[in-house]
Amino acid sequence: MASYQSADVVRRSATTFTPPQVRHDQEVAKLIDVSKCIGCKACQSACLEWNNLQEEVGINTGSYQNPHDLTENSWTLMRFTEWDNPETQNLEWLIRKDGCMHCADPGCLKACPAPGAIVQYANGIVDFVSENCIGCGYCIKGCPFNVPRISKVDQKAYKCTLCSDRVAVGQAPACAKACPTQAISFGSKEAMLDLAGERIVDLKSRGFDKAGVYDPAGVGGTHVMYVLHHADKPEIYAGLPANPRISPMVELWKGATKYVGMGLIAAGVVGAFFHRVIAGANSVSAADEANAAALVDKTGGQA
Amino acid sequence: MTNSWTDIKNTDLVVIMGGNAAEAHPCGFKWVTEAKAHRGAKLVVVDPRFTRSASVADYYAPIRQGSDIAFLLGVIKYCIDKDKVQWEYTKNFTNAAYIVKEGYGYQDGLFTGYNEAIRDYNRDSWEYEIGADGFAVMDETLAHPRCVWNLLKQHVAIYTPEMVERICGTPKEKFLKVAEMIATTSARDKTMTSMYALGWTQHSKGSQNIRAMAMLQLILGNIGQRGGGMNALRGHSNIQGLTDIGLMSNLLPGYLTLATDKEATLDSYMSSRGFKPLRPGQTSYWQNYKKFFVSFQKSMYGAAAKVENDWAYDWLPKLDVPGYDVLRAFDMMFQGKMNGYFCQGFNPLMSFPRKNKIRAALGKLKFLVVMDPLQTETARFWQDHGEFNPAKPADVQTEVFELPSTCFAEDEGSLTNSSRWLQWHWAGAQAPGEARSDVWMMAQLHLRLRKMYAAEGGAFPDPILNLTWPYANPADPQPDELAKELNGRALVTLRDPADQTKVIQEAGKLLPGFAALRDDGTTSSGCWIYSGCFTEAGNAMARRDNTDPAETGAYPGWAFSWPANRRILYNRASADMAGKAWDPTRKLIEWNGTNWAGFDVPDIAPASKPGEVMPFIMNQEGVSRLWVRRGMKDGPFPVHYEPFESPITNPIAPKIRGNPAARVFANDMEVFGDSKEFPYAATTYRLTEHFHYWSKHVQVNAVLQPEFFVELSQELAKEKGIANGGWVRVDSKRGFVRAKAVVTKRIKPMMCDGKVVHIIGIPIHWGFMGATKKGFGANTLTPFVGDANIETPEFKAFLVDIRAENPPVS
Amino acid sequence: MLESLSRRAFVRGVGAGLAGTALGFGGSEQALAAEVRPFRLSRALQTRNTCPYCSVGCGVIMYARGDGSKNARRELIHIEGDPDHPTNRGTLCPKGAALLDFVKAPTRTKHPMYRAPGTNEFKQVSWDWALDRIARLMKDDRDKNFIAKNAEGVTVNRWISTGFLAASATTNETAFMTYKAVRSAGMVVFDNQARV
């Protein structure tokens, strides 16, 4: 049984005290080198197999992208973009493996109102603990990368675990192991940054002057990073955000309420957060937004 | 592959043309990314589509499908004109200096000896001038007007950059850029690897596509080198092995050939297989042909093959036609001339061209036996699946057997990969239900036939009754027993002919390799090139030592690489005339004053002095062939021929349709379309998410690529009112398909011979069985004609029409 | 509506309860340990094999439940790249990575099936029946159509009315067994998948 003991946990959702963080594990990272990716989807295949996920057979909608979006069963997805480079006039087929970025400062965890449903380990992995998940979907709102998805079956949130089960026993995540061209590498965050540096030198030698690493500071850096040939334009890679940040709303409410008497607001506030479960929606509705905004105002005032 | 997957890391330039390695062979393609990352190698992709290989290329150039020869001969011309030739290699290791006999000629797309009535050549004029001494005549100064080099210069003169653009649609500056990159590898210390697959073979001139690149690689000096070579990326996991063991109409194992009707006796058979050297002192290894042949017959018939019956020569069938290949077989079937057919792990209803003909042909059989781990379409050709497979079961009188076979996970044995590595694997699961191995099924069928012939007699029972059957349990031969048969044994105690006191091998023991084979019936070997795979030292195919001395990529202790555990073919050519490596940093073998030695098993007798014995020991000349004598049916040099269905007339030979030497059956000629009725140039291909018609049975792969689609340019979509993701109907002269449309920037219209050519891309993977959405097979559309030399169907270039249509009613 | 309300009430209650305990009001702090999914290959039986798809010949490791004891049927639970293999070094493509689903495909053949002329169904038959019937069909056709000599009287010993398409992913040993059985019968309509 692989488990992370309390000493391995750095952060825990909806928990007011600081975890002991006795152990200082090595921070791990996955480096996705978009310039080496051939879009073969071995990562998707390996992810489905390792995690025993049963995805539906969909349809073709005019793209190689299948499924069409991340789902509760597809925790990673190749996103394909045909981009005409205005400088060279050449077509570039940009293929980006999408999935959880395992942020150092995870918006999902901050937004999550269910104690212990989202945890961050000392190695950097942000994991969803479905036993504790209440299916409110607020992790989706908190995520600057729009990654978590709610299952239609059990109404719980799912996303990439960075194969926490494999990493716990010294194995690389399934996608990283499978990747035929080493477009995905796995190791310590430090080693991955070194590797990114080497790759950037190679890319610059091939004329990609703006090659760089994507490790956005707005979320404290990530434990899934990209090497991009056009690092000055991350948004051309199927909308990779240039400056991802946790929604100020989430920051506010988590920051403000962390040490106050949650009991005062628990029933009403948490109820409001859980509105979407009641409505049965799988994403945050406009009404949720309004409720949340109202909440921010209210709690902000109380602090 | 002349080289191996792992050797690709040693290259300076990768040219992917006629293939799409990133999609079809992702784990092999990794060695391209290694070469790029660690050697600074460049990747060039030339393809009608901007593929996933192109997405990581340093340079991409578009080309119209079916015009590769014009492109490649254009590059050869460029290299000659710019003096980018590896001269020491070309002069000494190719037949550039050989003089062609008088009477040979080429004009307007045809060589001397063509007979239009039979679509074939009399190839007598395609030979060297032979001197009084019996050897081929050479002019080492390359001055003689009929020396191969001058004939080549003349032959490629027409393929100027302008002509390449006109035929191929490749913009001149893009062609020149590719030519320039390729030409850099003529340097002694630079190599280029050619990675190709069905993109070159599936044309009516497929073999010549490959020859054209092989010729280019030879004048650049890139064959026999680390990081060089002609690397055929084979399709299935053991199609290399199946071909090596000769499971083809005209082959015996180890690339020996079946006799023809003209060879009534063993003597007449051997008279055309003597392979006398064409130059003094050359090896001409095929001189050992009879040793391999007799040893094969001994493995088949044991003591019953003896000198008195010419080693059971008459027990082998003889051929009255060049071969009963699959196209001929299905044409015979279509005409009602066949009664029974076996499909072992093979799904011809989806795999062969002109699906409607294939279905009709199967319906004329008395019996069809399908052995397969999956429920194939072929086994259900008689079922009605609507438009996907229209059939009336009541009208189909074929008896059909579907026999469940094990898959890889449940059986043991060896597969030969593209690197020519024979790799042993072990069973890890029990077969589902009553599934049994193919070995068991074949043994059971043979034993039943044998029993019936023994009891009832019948037509010529001798070869059936005398087939060797040396298995501990006759009903269930085991993989190791069969592997040992392939390797071969000493049938008597073998002694060194030079020293009778020295025993080479005791009677009954396994042979160390093919060098021990004899033509006097004292040795057996099922497949001479595999000899050495299972010796008294053990099963070499099961070796798992992955150390790699000096990191050459050879991995000599991993599995067994035929022949003789050699990792790079023609490796003597990795060194110059003095025996020194062309590139000291990429040494393979070198002459140490007395012997050849290094990181690979030399493919030349180890004591052969450099400068005397030339590297291409399988050729009678000892050198490689830029001009191939009578070795190819359609010409000693490649010529640009259009596909049988082409959007343009052949600019260099306007009167010729297709390859003039390709065989076409009359009923297929009738259903070739023309560009008026079918204006668009179509091509078929594979996607990385699927493997042929197997992975559609796999849930995960069905998720990754769920539904049949075709690809077209934004320009054509606009012209035809086709929406991305909408439905289209595609018609050829032979049938139609309905599919989703993927409208993409990755396909662009081309300008060929003054005409806009639109390309339609059609992936192949869907059918009416499995986990994906049901789909039409791309083979509904494709033409039933094969390559002139080996009958590979022309799946890569044909004509269609396309139109938008409403979604099908479900 | 009623259902919605009841769900609302239920969830709200749970939410309040959680807030009251785990958020620090319960007095005793609950353990922070997070159980991750157990590593599922720890004691699985490993077998080396080769991917059956393309000609790269990637090494795979097959993981099976069952330790070989008599009453535990060996069942594959996972397949992954073999890191010791020189070519693939543990990696696999999207097909190789999903090999388990190929082995376990619901459309695997499991029993010999027979379809009689003119009928619209496959019927399950025994191996013995199927093999006897096929061998009889073969012999009858061979005896009737075998060509011992051609028109010129040359011994040719060929059988062209029945043909054989050999596999492309079977082993070399299967190939040789097939070769022996097919050629000894004089078959020349014999081919493989080299071209497609």
pLDDT at B771 over 90: yes
**What span, in angstroms and rounded, lies between the C-alpha atoms of A95 and A83?**
10
Distance (Å, whole) CA A101 – CA A124? 10
Tell me which residue range forms the domain holding A280.
247-303
Domain co-membership, B671 together with B796: yes
Report the neighbours of B using a cutoff of 3 or more CB pairs below 8 angstroms: A, C
pLDDT higher than threshold 90 for residue C2? no
Residue B709 sits in the same domain as residue B777: yes
Shared domain check, B483 and B433 = no
pLDDT for position B809: 74
| Of B436, B452, B468, the domain-final residue | B452
Q: Are residues B434 and B360 in the same domain?
A: yes
Decide if B106 is inside a domain.
Answer: no
Question: How many CB atoms sit inside 10 A of residue C10's CB?
Answer: 12
**pLDDT given for residue C20 in this prediction:** 31
Paired tokens of B87: 């001269």
Buried/exposed code over B535-564 (b: 16+ C-beta within 10 A; e: otherwise): beeebbbbbeebebeeebbbbbebbbbbbb
Q: Which domain holds residue B353?
A: 326-452
Question: Is B376 part of any domain?
Answer: yes
Residue C179 has pLDDT above 60, yes or no: yes
Choose the weakest-confidence range: A283-297, B62-76, B757-771.
A283-297
Considering only CA atoms, which of A159, A120, A119 is closest in space to residue A137?
A159
Interface contact C82, partner B, CB < 8 A: no
Query: Distance (Å, rounded) from C-alpha A138 to C-alpha A274?
Result: 9
Whole-prediction pTM:
0.93
The answer to whether C76 and C62 are in contact (CB under 8 A) is yes
**Residue A65: which CATH number?**
3.30.70.20
Residues of A in contact with B707 (CB under 8 A): 58-60
Kindly report the CATH number assigned to the domain that includes residue B741.
2.40.40.20
pLDDT of residue A19: 66
Least Cα separation, residue B700 to chain A (angstroms): 6
Residue B805's Cβ-side half-sphere holds a number of Cα atoms within 13 Å equal to: 15
Residue B736, domain member (yes or no): yes
Token couple for A149? 């998805």
The residue-averaged pLDDT of B367-384 equals 98
Pair B682, B800 in one domain: yes
Both B444 and B336 in one domain: the answer is yes
Counting runs of H as helices and runs of E as strands, what totals does chain B give?
21, 33
Q: What is the pLDDT of residues B242-262, one digit of tens each?
A: 999 999 999 999 999 999 999
The answer on A256 and A213 residing in a single domain is no
Contact B29 A181 (CB under 8 A): yes
Same structural domain for residues A190 and A92? yes
* Of residues A3, A14, A45, nearest to C33 (C-beta): A3
In a domain, residue B228? The reply is no
Q: Do B695 and C95 touch (CB under 8 A)?
A: yes
* Confidence category of residue A10, pLDDT binned at 50, 70, 90: confident
- Are A94 and A16 members of one domain? yes
A254 plus A198 within the same structural domain? no
B800 and B672 co-located in one domain: yes
- Going by pLDDT thresholds of 50, 70 and 90, the confidence category of residue C69 is confident
Assess whether pLDDT exceeds 70 at residue A164: yes
Contact B356, B734 (CB under 8 A): yes
End residue of a domain, out of B437, B452, B467 = B452
Which A residues 206-225 touch B at CB under 8 Å?
A: 206
Q: Kindly tell me the sign of the dihedral angle through the C-alpha atoms of B347, B349, B350, B351.
A: positive
Which of B319-328, B470-479, C25-34 has the weakest average pLDDT? C25-34
The interface pTM score, or ipTM, of the predicted complex is 0.97
Mutation target vs B (from C67, C99, C150, C174; most B CBs, 10 A cutoff): C174
Cis amide bond preceding B584, omega within 30:
no
Q: Which residue from C minimizes the CA distance to A13?
A: C23
pLDDT tens for A202-251 read 999 999 999 999 999 999 999 999 999 999 999 999 999 999 999 888 87
> Does some domain include residue B646?
no
Q: Inform me whether the pLDDT recorded for A17 exceeds 80.
A: no
In a domain, B657, yes or no: no
Among the partner residues B30, B742, B772, nearest to A180 by beta-carbon distance: B30
- The helix/strand/coil state of B496 is strand
Residue type, A158: Y
Mapping DSSP to helix (H, G, I), strand (E, B) and coil, where does residue B215 land?
Answer: helix
The tokens for A281 are 């929606």
CB B422, CB B561: distance < 8 Å: yes
Which residue from C20, C39, C93 is facing A180, i.e. has the nearest CB? C93
Structural domain count of chain B: 3
Report if residue A1 sits inside a domain: no
B545 has pLDDT over 60: yes
Domain coordinates in residue numbering, chain C: 45-103, 146-196
> Alpha carbon of B637 to those of B1, B211, B222, B525: distances in Å?
22, 8, 19, 36
Euclidean distance between CA atoms B501 and B508, whole angstroms:
18
Closest CA to B796 of B144, B139, B278, B203: B203
pLDDT of B554 strictly over 60 = yes
Task: Please give the Cα distance from C114 to C121 (Å, whole number).
Answer: 8
Asked if B404 and C109 touch (Cβ cutoff 8 Å), the reply is: yes
- Checking if the pLDDT of B751 tops 70, the result is yes
Give pLDDT tens digits for A249-300: 887 766 555 444 344 344 344 444 433 333 333 344 455 455 544 444 443 3
- Flag whether A124 is in a domain: no
Distance CA B283, CA B620 (A): 7
Write the CATH number for B383.
Answer: 3.40.50.740
Residue B631 pLDDT: 94
CATH number of C45-103: 3.30.200.210
Domain boundary among A180, A206, A231: A231
Asked whether residue B592 is assigned to any structural domain, the reply reads: no
> Of B487, B509, B540, which one is at a domain's C-terminal end?
B540
Q: Domain boundary at A171, A206, A231, which? A: A231
Q: What is the domain count for chain A?
A: 2
The model's pLDDT over B495-520, given as tens digits with 9 standing for 90+, comes to: 999 999 999 999 999 999 999 999 99
Instruction: Tell whether A69 lies on the interface with B, counting CB pairs under 8 A.
Output: no
Asked, for residue A96, whether it belongs to a domain, the answer is: yes
Query: pLDDT band at residue B368, thresholds of 50, 70 and 90?
Result: very high
Together in a domain, B308 and B336 = no
Same domain assignment for residues B311 and B245: yes
CA distances from A257 to A15, B223, B275, B480, C166 (A): 11, 72, 91, 72, 71
Amino acid C31: pLDDT:
52
Average pLDDT value for chain B:
97
Rounded Cα gap, residues C192 and B508, in angstroms: 33
Crossing angle of helices C172-184 and B438-456, in 10° steps, is: 20
Q: What is the mean pLDDT of chain A?
A: 85
Question: Domain check: are A43 and A78 in the same one?
Answer: yes
- Taking the CA of residue A138 and the nearest CA in chain B, the distance in Å comes to 28
- Strand, coil or helix: what is C65? strand
Residues ≥6 apart with Cβ < 8 Å to B81: none
Mean pLDDT value across residues B604-628: 96
> Does residue B747 lie in a domain region?
yes
